[in-house]
Every structure is written in C-alpha cells, then in structure tokens.
Structure 1
Amino acid sequence: MEMHKFKVLAETGIMSRPATRLVMAAQEFKSDIKLTYNDHTVNLKSIMGVMSLGVPQDSYVEISASGEDEREAMVGIDTYLEKEGIVEQVQESADA
C-alpha cells in the first residue's frame, strides 16, 4: 500500500470543482484509492464520498492506494494535486 499525507492549499478546500477533478483523476486507476480526513475514510472514486468529508483549506488529509497499479496511482494523483495547487505533500519526519 502507498500512502501520502497532504496539506490542503486550495481556498475552497477539496469541494466542488477540485473534488470532481480529483475523483476523475482517481478513476483512471484500477487500485482501491482512499481519502482520509478527521478519521473518516471514503472511496476517492466517489464524488459523494469526497464531498461528504467537507475538507476545508489548511487541513490535513491522507490518500492511500492499494492494488496492482498503486504506485502509478499515487504518482498520478500527487502530480495532479500539486500541479493544480490543491495541496502540498507533507514530508514525514524521520522520528515519526
């Protein structure tokens, strides 16, 4: 399983247009992709699930991928999110 932590930069958070485009990006992969915010996890391929989280700006989320193309899925989603300015990846400390 691949997992990355992000800080949400988008002024609207992960709602509306950013949520829709993120779901579309996730649907390109076969892996099971999840979005976690405040201990709630949803399928990243479900717009209703993503919107139900109500992720605001300056919050932290985790995205995980599990499956045959999990690495490619994470690279693709990371690239999309950072290119669009929706999030920045949070580097985990060596002590964590």
Structure 2
Amino acid sequence: MQHKSVQIINKRGLHARAAAKFATTASQFASSIQVQLGNFQVNGKSIMGLMMLAATQGTELHISATGDDAEAALDALEKLVLGGFGEDE
C-alpha cells in the first residue's frame, strides 16, 4: 500500500464535478484507491463517497492505493488535485 497527502486548492473544494473527475481518474487504474479525511474513509472510485467527505478548499486528503499500478494512480490523482481539478478558480 502506498500513500500520498494532498491539499485541495480549488475554491469550490471537492464538489460534484471535482469528485467526478477524481473518481474517473481513479477508475482508470486497477488498484484499490481509498481517500481518508479525518475518521472517514471512502472508495476513491465512488463519486458519492467522495462528495460525502464535504472537503473544502485547504482540506488535506490522505489517498492510499494498493495494486500493481498504485504509484501511477497516486501520481495522477495528486496532479489532478494540485491542478485544482482543471478549474479556473
């Protein structure tokens, strides 16, 4: 299992569109991906699970991945989050 911590930088946080982009990116990998915020841990491939985290700007997410492509998955998800989910704001 590999881990990365990333901080949400976009103004709207992990809203529906951002959660969908995260889940879509995570789903491109065979590895199992989990996202943790505080005591809550959700499947990183589940849009609804990600939205339930209600993560706002400045929130630090802990992402873990298990599988053959875990490192690539974590790198892609880190790039997505640190890139503000491709949003202008």
TM-score, with length taken from structure 2: 0.87
**CA–CA distance in structure 2, aligned partners of residues 43 and 14 of structure 1:** 14
Unmatched 5+ stretches in structure 1: 87-96
Identity %: 29
2:17 aligns with: 17
**CA–CA distance in structure 1, aligned partners of residues 54 and 7 of structure 2:** 14
Check whether the contact 2:8–2:81 (CA below 8 A) recurs between aligned residues: no
1:62 aligns with: 62
Unmatched 5+ stretches in structure 2: none
What is the 5 A alignment of 1:1-96? 1-82=1-82, 84-86=83-85
Aligned residues: 85
Spell out, residue by residue over 1:26-83, the C-alpha distance to the aligned partner (whole angstroms, 9 max, x if none).
000000001101210000001111111111111111011111111111112122222x
TM-score, with length taken from structure 1: 0.81
Shift of 1:19: 0.8
**CA–CA distance in structure 1, aligned partners of residues 73 and 58 of structure 2:** 24
